Structure 1
């Protein structure tokens, strides 16, 4: 029997936003399982067992709790110590198993069956099972619906009063879409419950005015929270002028949200007490957890486990708090003395200190926010969760995130790419590599090492995310995104009263990729308001302008307020994106705000954001244009690739890992050919030889001309060192070249290192390229493309994307590297047919996405010719541990 698979344990978010803990069943669960069974209604028992069974017989009970984690697997879902659902499979033959589920009556309708099915399917695939069957009574509509809605191709047969269900559990596009949609709904709702509480309880408030808890109470009160505010204090009758209760026992009904500000060592007990009294979520502002060291880290794990086990989401610990400016909520459960006006920018911060700065900056600029979340140590609620909420939040039109670390970049990319299609996402990321983490933040380190920064940057671009280098840049671009329509193109018009400023704006705009083909309008310094307004109107009326930058330097002519009034009125009725450079007006201010009729016949405000300097104005507008162009693009589709045999590939990998010891596993030539052929790929025949006679025999079999390459990694691909010889056309030439390469191998070989020499049929002349892919510990399955050569590696001219790739992703990767012109006829080179390269990228992407055990797959080189692409060398390294942090089954990090 396999040992207990701890990696299968998971905290999950249910359909209604609550949480539960999922784990494999163990014999010690017998009593809890019996209690679960006895609590079920007779109808539920009959639907599960097709017969009355008030109590599980001892023999059956032991059979249910004793599994081998291979042929027989069972998962239980727990809230506290209570089992709320059981799912199991029993193997029928080599590839199929029968599944069965039992959901607690009180918890039906929470999506438990779907979660159990996802985790059972993932475990079954690990054990070589690819088909599930089930026998269901026709009246058990809820279970039939679980199977029907899972996204698999389900077949049904009715026989002898029972519905027999059968389906393959290999993930399909539809099943993955279903899983993502369910994850989105659950996580979005769990965040909504936190940000829209009807009742809040503060635990740990002190009578000392400058204490954390006291400040929380005062901020909640002064913001005018519309719900019920309760303060728990064991002794004081009032805090900050508000009455208190002695304990949670005195609550007349469970609170939606608890804000906790007690010492770190007491937090776990308070969270447990909240769970016992039905609190739905907690915000922990207390510090003293993972940021303090290993002891604090263990304490943090205990707090999070307690919250999740009892169905609660947790913000923090070490959180700065949360806020919601909606009039019907008015929640400021934060430590910030600033409470910005209501607006449409959603803000997320991991750092508490930066949280203060973000809210202060928003207030200074007059930039309203919708909601604010400070995740602190991000032990539970993360930026990914809040993105799920903001995607459909009607009060949020743009999103700003300050990220000190990204625990699950692959999931972030997946969610952000979806969110960016409907609203812009701006990210300030302080450390792209994950190498310099703030105290308390735990993430896996990237395997891309020095390439991690550029790789994650390209992943942001792939997802349509706007990258800001500072919080100032975040707010600079947010001003445009929340106040102006998106531009239709890159064509820019400039109007101002300073030729010098106009020149700076035009030069900066061209450097940022904007089209300044329309000559800037530079009026004289003493221009009057009517003359300036006329020039503005003419610029707004032009069909060859998509956006406008207006600068004004006060002088003896019109006042800044007169120009601002004219600009705001004209910009409010225009569909052109407009920004301003007014030294006396910064941010989103009343001076540059006008009102226009909205779709419902009312009046809506439209503001022109103003910047102190031309650089900020140009940068902000350029990033807005880049985002608008990304959003308008066709992002492609995930093509149905022919000739894919996932089962065969998984078998090759499983057998190779089973036969090897712990540690990386280098696939042999035969296994490599088998693996890539399962995804419709093949390399030119290659024979590894040890003597010249073996090389001559191989060349005769392959056919001249041939190439020879040293297996030694220091010489392989290094023609300048003599480790590669091409276009060998005769046996005599082969003998001579082989002897020379053998001598080099002797010089470079390490003790016990490989000394073989590969003989391979020559590929047609073309452009050598390199494709690498594999499971990065931090970023997930990454695919990279470059042209071959030292120069490419030295200057980092490599494109990276997260798998899976769309057809547009594959095409853009090839064209995004700076050396791409060599593929398209640069200086008389033949034009390569890149369609086979694109297909190759898509197939490699699918392979590493499907098989997380692939740590590194390198095709070096693949030669692109005018007709085709030829794979010359393929190297595959497997990893024994492949616990993907964004796997096909839903779970919290």
Structure 2
């Protein structure tokens, strides 16, 4: 017998005289009406615990027959746990009640695989803020994590409608359901009465519930990729006899790599391809098929997916083109491919991709179009470009690097870099991750994963500009400098081109991380030593005087010089330049460099006769693999070596910093802030009987002083006036001296809209008259007490980016800094280290630290303000924009002179918020 089902009770049955065999006798059936709009935004494709996929959606009246069929497949035990008694079938009235809900007070979500319903969860609101839940999972699908996914999604829908608690009555023997409820991470209470355990779940997200969700997401997505990369068998669909054909190329590469499992060519007409028996369809194959490589015309792919679903294939690699890259019709075909595959439990690599590879000797998978796949190594490699992927693999092989696994995602209809990060995090064979990215499907999730994984394994990425046609990805609105800053915050090494990608990758693959920026230079060329030294300075490294051994230096001289430098405590890394005018002792010099550097905790890299990659003489041999750790990577020029070392040094310093979460701020009143936002948006939010949050609400702009006060921030008081005497009266109340300025924040940025240092009534009247003459009698002006001087003007902002979520920006308020767009960015919430890095990232930062004639100012107070603004941005997704303009940073503190916020009811959870879903 399988595990107990994750089920709940319909506890209302205890109130009906007819007993547990009947539904609540007083509850009416709620037929769907115009008001009960179907909430399509609740639909989601999800990855289950075993790596398979399924579809979650609200139940509909037309699901009646699907519900009956689902119920007929349940065991007696499952039915007993759900209804507290036997119930051989559902009556028509019960089916009608279960499938007709109003999506507000009564909600039901179902999980489907293919056309079949395999699970259902529902809630009925029993009083304001509280609902009773019940769920049921088909016996054949228990233990796959279906219940935990459904609970996450139902909790999210409940919170949309103001429900804070779930109540579930559970039979004591139903340990599985109690486990699901307790392990969700929410605050749970239980008590025993009347023969049942009543469990209460507080649906307020907690740190524990978020950690549980992230851990389940990680395990599920990692397993889904493992099923693709470690198949027991592969079918090549579209493997023709045509020489050079796409299908035959993949088939020959699979056979040439000596894949450890059976390979099945599929062709409608021929009996054999490349000497291997062929099958007319994938369903005609005798054995199981784990992975299908699809190489048929685009218009035939959907039919192939349905055949693969019937066969029970776990994953698809679609190398066929003719999808999103061809226009709207192809994009519709691509979306249908992903939708259909997910509905039947399959992940998809592609379409329009190069394929996948795994060099593990237990697998030996080359399901790609590339004839050259590097040997076994410790680098995981992801490329979105199919055409470029072949060249990239050749480049890896030429450098002598090895890979653990390779995935080309093509149009990225499904499997993305995020999925591979989840897999490589747990893959012991992968120590370094290289990414060639053309688009980002879920950028906030990408940075979240990178920040976690980079603590253990370095990630190096090339991000090209723009989003190619056909990619399933969101448009990035942030400037490229902001994206680089957010990658840096996550510990990700972003490089400019594919040459740097491999330059940095080979250093990480073979050498230890440096402890700091101090670099020793050992060379046999004075000119090359100077180039290396200059490159170090330009890259932010600290070079020691180069040790120039002269053109005639041999192995002994290089060995002594390198050994002496590595022994110095002031050295963190060494660059060796060996460019003899006449080749001579190459092997001997290389052997000596390997001997001296062996076991050193300091990285050694070289420019060895201009060789790119690991020179054969500098490789540490390891049976069955490419060069092993301890091999010395070589670069074509000293500048290339230094550039790679600088990237790795910055990463090493980031990684060495302790992991510190965002600080707890005791004086923050998040509840009051949320109530302020709710009250402001009360007239703009969708009615609860409509599809709540399906569309964003209208924008509302407010003065943000009260909102900021909830986060311990005070805006320098100001009063809007409409007459000279009103301005004088305001100045008397605020205290002299004062500033008179245009009230409109946009207009105030123009020159001539501020008068400073007004010390008396006559000066205020005169300034007011000047504004009236310049801008008209009806102009609105603001009076504000003059802030203490000297102070450095800065600008702080928040933007709710649709791809990255809440982003905090910082820059100086000087006109020149604004014109040059000297801004820095970080994702919210901010740690104190994030805030410190944000301040120091702008080019004009020295003005805050007492340079260029400015006095040093209260940078610590500025960093505290940034932390608090980041907390506000994280807490309140309704704040789509916040501008603190200006923030004066003085010698003893900060003064916020003005703050405006734009609020908007969001269209749903943030891109990386809410329950798990494939995005």
Same fold, TM-score > 0.5, yes or no: yes
Instruction: Note the alpha carbon deviations across 1:775-821, whole angstroms, 9 max, x for none.
Output: 11222211111221222222222110112222211222122222223
Counterpart-to-counterpart distance in 2, 1:556 and 1:697: 88
Q: Could you tell me which residue of structure 2 aligns to residue 464 of structure 1?
A: 491
Q: Could you tell me which residue of structure 2 aligns to residue 823 of structure 1?
A: 848
Secondary structure, in 3 states, of the residue corresponding to 2:467?
coil
Structure 1 residues 226-241: aligned runs within 5 Å: 226-241=260-275
Distance 1:616 1:214, change over 3 A: same
Structure 2 unaligned segments of length 5 or more: list them: 1-34, 686-695
Distance 1:14 1:647, change over 3 A: farther
**Contact map agreement 2:79 2:85 (CA 8 A) in 1:** yes
1:590 to 616, 627, 631: 616
**Contact map agreement 1:768 1:862 (CA 8 A) in 2:** yes
Shift of 1:270: 0.4
Q: Could you tell me which residue of structure 2 aligns to residue 99 of structure 1?
A: 133
Shift of 1:880: 4.5
2:760 to 707, 730, 747: 730
Is 1:622 paired with 2:646? yes
Counterpart-to-counterpart distance in 1, 2:424 and 2:153: 27
**Contact map agreement 1:400 1:474 (CA 8 A) in 2:** yes
Secondary structure, in 3 states, of the residue corresponding to 2:486?
helix
Is 1:813 paired with 2:838? yes
Is 1:246 paired with 2:246? no
1:688 to 713, 720, 730: 720
Secondary structure, in 3 states, of the residue corresponding to 1:133?
strand
2:887 to 852, 855, 862: 862
**Contact map agreement 1:723 1:744 (CA 8 A) in 2:** no
Shift of 1:67: 2.5
**Contact map agreement 1:443 1:778 (CA 8 A) in 2:** no
Is 1:265 paired with 2:299? yes
Counterpart-to-counterpart distance in 1, 2:884 and 2:551: 62
Instruction: Note the alpha carbon deviations across 1:349-397, whole angstroms, 9 max, x for none.
Output: 1111110011000111111111000000001000111011111111111
Distance 1:640 1:154, change over 3 A: farther
Q: Could you tell me which residue of structure 2 aligns to residue 530 of structure 1?
A: 556
Is 1:288 paired with 2:322? yes
Q: Could you tell me which residue of structure 2 aligns to residue 782 of structure 1?
A: 807
2:230 to 169, 193, 196: 196
Shift of 1:208: 0.4
Counterpart-to-counterpart distance in 2, 1:14 and 1:797: 45
After TM superposition, the structure 1 stretch with the greater mean CA deviation from structure 2, 178-187 or 40-49, is 40-49
**Contact map agreement 1:484 1:606 (CA 8 A) in 2:** yes
Secondary structure, in 3 states, of the residue corresponding to 2:649?
helix
Instruction: Note the alpha carbon deviations across 1:226-272, whole angstroms, 9 max, x for none.
Output: 11211112221111121112222333343111100010011011011
**Contact map agreement 1:775 1:856 (CA 8 A) in 2:** yes
Counterpart-to-counterpart distance in 2, 1:371 and 1:788: 48
Counterpart-to-counterpart distance in 1, 2:285 and 2:141: 24
Instruction: Note the alpha carbon deviations across 1:98-157, whole angstroms, 9 max, x for none.
Output: 333222222122222221222222222222333333332332222222222222222222
Shift of 1:295: 0.4
After TM superposition, the structure 1 stretch with the greater mean CA deviation from structure 2, 841-850 or 372-381, is 841-850
Q: Could you tell me which residue of structure 2 aligns to residue 606 of structure 1?
A: 630
Is 1:708 paired with 2:740? yes
**Contact map agreement 2:610 2:637 (CA 8 A) in 1:** no
Q: Could you tell me which residue of structure 2 aligns to residue 600 of structure 1?
A: none
1:223 to 257, 271, 276: 257
Q: Could you tell me which residue of structure 2 aligns to residue 72 of structure 1?
A: 106
Shift of 1:829: 4.3
Q: Could you tell me which residue of structure 1 aligns to residue 867 of structure 2?
A: 842
2:781 to 734, 751, 757: 757
Is 1:495 paired with 2:522? yes
Secondary structure, in 3 states, of the residue corresponding to 2:643?
helix
Distance 1:562 1:48, change over 3 A: same
Counterpart-to-counterpart distance in 2, 1:275 and 1:508: 56
Q: Could you tell me which residue of structure 2 aligns to residue 477 of structure 1?
A: 504
Secondary structure, in 3 states, of the residue corresponding to 2:189?
strand
Secondary structure, in 3 states, of the residue corresponding to 2:127?
coil
Q: Could you tell me which residue of structure 2 aligns to residue 794 of structure 1?
A: 819
**Contact map agreement 2:467 2:475 (CA 8 A) in 1:** no
Q: Could you tell me which residue of structure 2 aligns to residue 425 of structure 1?
A: 459
Counterpart-to-counterpart distance in 2, 1:564 and 1:786: 49
Counterpart-to-counterpart distance in 2, 1:557 and 1:17: 55
After TM superposition, the structure 1 stretch with the greater mean CA deviation from structure 2, 850-859 or 638-647, is 638-647
Counterpart-to-counterpart distance in 2, 1:124 and 1:104: 24
**Contact map agreement 1:572 1:596 (CA 8 A) in 2:** no
Shift of 1:665: 1.5
Q: Could you tell me which residue of structure 2 aligns to residue 878 of structure 1?
A: 903
Counterpart-to-counterpart distance in 2, 1:835 and 1:865: 11
Structure 1 residues 333-482: aligned runs within 5 Å: 333-431=367-465, 436-448=466-478, 452-482=479-509
Secondary structure, in 3 states, of the residue corresponding to 1:44?
helix
**Contact map agreement 1:583 1:613 (CA 8 A) in 2:** no
After TM superposition, the structure 1 stretch with the greater mean CA deviation from structure 2, 686-695 or 581-590, is 686-695
Secondary structure, in 3 states, of the residue corresponding to 1:607?
coil
Counterpart-to-counterpart distance in 2, 1:861 and 1:690: 23
Instruction: Note the alpha carbon deviations across 1:765-784, whole angstroms, 9 max, x for none.
Output: 43332211121122221111
1:544 to 570, 587, 610: 570
Counterpart-to-counterpart distance in 1, 2:780 and 2:561: 76
Counterpart-to-counterpart distance in 1, 2:732 and 2:167: 53
Q: Could you tell me which residue of structure 1 aligns to residue 25 of structure 2?
A: none
Distance 1:569 1:303, change over 3 A: same
**Contact map agreement 1:234 1:245 (CA 8 A) in 2:** yes
Is 1:769 paired with 2:769? no
Distance 1:487 1:500, change over 3 A: same
Counterpart-to-counterpart distance in 1, 2:683 and 2:45: 33
Instruction: Note the alpha carbon deviations across 1:543-599, whole angstroms, 9 max, x for none.
Output: 3222111111224584222211221222233222111112264311321123699xx
**Contact map agreement 1:637 1:808 (CA 8 A) in 2:** no
Counterpart-to-counterpart distance in 2, 1:807 and 1:630: 14
**Contact map agreement 2:237 2:282 (CA 8 A) in 1:** no
Distance 1:705 1:58, change over 3 A: farther
Secondary structure, in 3 states, of the residue corresponding to 1:164?
strand
Counterpart-to-counterpart distance in 2, 1:638 and 1:94: 34
After TM superposition, the structure 1 stretch with the greater mean CA deviation from structure 2, 396-405 or 86-95, is 86-95
After TM superposition, the structure 1 stretch with the greater mean CA deviation from structure 2, 102-111 or 304-313, is 102-111
Distance 1:732 1:265, change over 3 A: same
Counterpart-to-counterpart distance in 1, 2:716 and 2:629: 65
Counterpart-to-counterpart distance in 2, 1:605 and 1:792: 46
**Contact map agreement 1:27 1:65 (CA 8 A) in 2:** yes
After TM superposition, the structure 1 stretch with the greater mean CA deviation from structure 2, 284-293 or 177-186, is 177-186
Shift of 1:80: 1.0
Is 1:507 paired with 2:537? no
Secondary structure, in 3 states, of the residue corresponding to 2:374?
coil
Instruction: Note the alpha carbon deviations across 1:851-888, whole angstroms, 9 max, x for none.
Output: 33322111112233344333322211134453432223
Structure 1 residues 149-160: aligned runs within 5 Å: 149-160=183-194
**Contact map agreement 2:697 2:907 (CA 8 A) in 1:** no
Distance 1:700 1:180, change over 3 A: same
Secondary structure, in 3 states, of the residue corresponding to 1:784?
strand
**Contact map agreement 1:473 1:620 (CA 8 A) in 2:** yes
TM-score (norm: length of structure 2): 0.90
Instruction: Note the alpha carbon deviations across 1:68-123, whole angstroms, 9 max, x for none.
Output: 32333222111112122222223333333333322222212222222122222222
Q: What is the RMSD of the two structures over their aligned residues, measured on CA atoms?
A: 2.4
Counterpart-to-counterpart distance in 2, 1:716 and 1:582: 60
Counterpart-to-counterpart distance in 2, 1:609 and 1:485: 12
